[in-house]
């Protein structure tokens, strides 16, 4: 049985199904984003890791592959944040997602241009703050999720946020199938958002050597949170590189960051002054610690080694615990079709349970 399950999320985002493919640095490229949209979901392009000067090309590449609406993710502290925001407005992109936040002025600018603002949050207080700043929809990511993540599981965070806010809420973190969609809708969410599940599709750009590691990881506790990479809690598949980083002293890790920072600064076209300015922006924008700011450059180099070069031992593989239950790569079309079918079946089975009570 299949049904559209048309929710307010579909109305606002202009997609057929209430299924969002979240942004993932170096993973949610033009192809994956367009494949999601063509299959009836809503894809977010990973604008936060788009090369400076290349954002326009990437948006044109998405538009060449799909005529459906799509979204773009960005961070205010990325060197080319203004380039991304300008391109989003110029291309009339349907929605933006973000984590560590743009200020109210930037959000107003986006909203005035008709762009839906849809941040991802990991705590109730962040959901409330994001809405005060102008968010139209919030995605809540429970701790099971991949990438930077919190400590509260989706089953607790989702109802907490639903009780606290009036805007549509999208559930994320640990969702991978139609049961997850049916459950999220039953909680009162307007839809689901998934990262790891879309990373593990045949439309994903991640090399097969790395995908094989995601698929062969069967123990959810082996996809664990560490702060050893950039000082913030982030979930990765445990591998040699994670164990090596965790075994290093803090000064050694900071020393390594300096080297990676130089490499990354070159890539981003920033000199020492530009790097210092960016560091200050990151430090002052969200109350991050000095160690976090200094360690941040570890992330791009090591994650690219994992998900771009496919080095599953010496690179990093960010992922959610859902990877442990995903055993095959489907296309976005197959995945979204299956999720809709499964959700329809679950919801029909639940409806069949509620029979009128007769008194005798």
Q: Could you tell me the smallest distance in angstroms from the CB atom of residue 227 to ligand FMN?
A: 16
Q: Could you tell me the smallest distance in angstroms from the CB atom of residue 322 to ligand FMN?
A: 5
Q: Please select the residue that binds ligand FMN; options are 41, 315, 320, 344, rule is CB under 6 A.
A: 320
Give the closest residue to 137 by CA, choosing from 153, 158, 120, 149. Answer: 120
Which distant-in-sequence residues (6+ apart) come within 8 Å of 195 by Cβ?
21, 22, 23, 24, 145, 146, 147, 172, 320
Binding residues among 274-313 for ligand FMN as defined by CB under 6 A: 307
Give 314 or 349: the residue with its C-beta nearer to ligand FMN: 314
DSSP state of 96: E
Binding residues among 2-41 for ligand FMN as defined by CB under 6 A: 22-25, 27
Count of residues that bind ligand FMN according to CB under 6 A:
29
The CA-based angle 166-156-196, given to 5 degrees, is: 95
Contact flag: residue 150 with ligand FMN (CB under 6 A):
no
Give 157 or 194: the residue with its C-beta nearer to ligand FMN: 194
Token digits for 250?
Answer: 């803090």
Give 24 or 278: the residue with its C-beta nearer to ligand FMN: 24
Give 5 or 303: the residue with its C-beta nearer to ligand FMN: 303
Contact flag: residue 99 with ligand FMN (CB under 6 A):
yes
Contact flag: residue 120 with ligand FMN (CB under 6 A):
yes
Contact flag: residue 316 with ligand FMN (CB under 6 A):
no
Count CA atoms within 13 Å of residue 64 on its CB side.
8
* Burial (CB count <10 Å: 0-12, 13-18, 19+), residue 131: buried
Strands laid side by side in the 234-237 sheet: 147-148, 234-237, 223-226
Residues near ligand FMN (CB under 6 A) are 22-25, 27, 46, 48, 73, 99, 120, 141, 144-147, 172-175, 194-197, 199, 307, 318-320, 322
């Amino acid at each position: 049985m299949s049904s559209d399950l048309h929710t307010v999320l579909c109305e606002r985002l202009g997609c057929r199904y209430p299924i969002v493919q979240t942004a993932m640095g170096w993973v949610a490229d033009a192809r994956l984003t367009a494949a999601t949209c063509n299959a009836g979901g809503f894809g977010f392009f990973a604008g936060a890791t788009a090369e400076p000067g290349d954002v326009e090309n990437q948006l044109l590449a998405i538009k060449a592959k799909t005529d459906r609406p799509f979204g773009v993710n960005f961070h205010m502290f990325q060197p080319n944040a203004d380039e991304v925001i300008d391109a989003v407005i110029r291309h009339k992109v349907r929605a933006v997602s973000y984590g560590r936040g743009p200020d109210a002025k930037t959000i107003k600018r986006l909203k005035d241009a008709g762009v839906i603002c849809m941040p991802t949050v990991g705590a109730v207080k962040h959901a409330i703050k994001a809405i005060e700043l102008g968010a139209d929809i919030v995605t809540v990511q429970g701790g099971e999720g991949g990438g930077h993540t919190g400590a509260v599981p989706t089953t607790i965070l989702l109802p907490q946020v639903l009780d606290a806010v009036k805007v549509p809420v999208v559930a994320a973190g640990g969702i991978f199938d139609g049961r997850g969609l049916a459950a999220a809708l039953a909680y009162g969410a307007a839809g689901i958002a998934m990262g790891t599940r879309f990373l593990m599709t045949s439309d994903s750009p991640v090399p097969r050597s790395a995908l094989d590691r995601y698929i062969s990881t069967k123990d959810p506790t082996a996809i664990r949170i560490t702060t050893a990479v950039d000082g913030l809690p982030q979930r990765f598949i445990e591998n040699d590189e994670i164990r090596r980083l965790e075994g290093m002293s803090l000064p050694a890790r900071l020393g390594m960051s300096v080297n990676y920072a130089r490499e990354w600064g070159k890539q981003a076209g920033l000199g020492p002054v530009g790097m210092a300015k960016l560091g200050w922006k990151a430090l002052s924008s969200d109350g991050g610690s000095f160690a976090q700011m200094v360690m941040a450059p570890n992330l791009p180099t090591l994650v690219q080694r994992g998900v771009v070069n496919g080095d599953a031992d010496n690179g990093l593989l960010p992922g959610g615990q859902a990877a442990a239950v995903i055993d095959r790569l489907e296309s976005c079309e197959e995945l979204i079709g299956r999720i809709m079918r499964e959700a329809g079946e679950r919801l029909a089975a639940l409806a069949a349970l509620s029979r009128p009570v007769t008194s005798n």
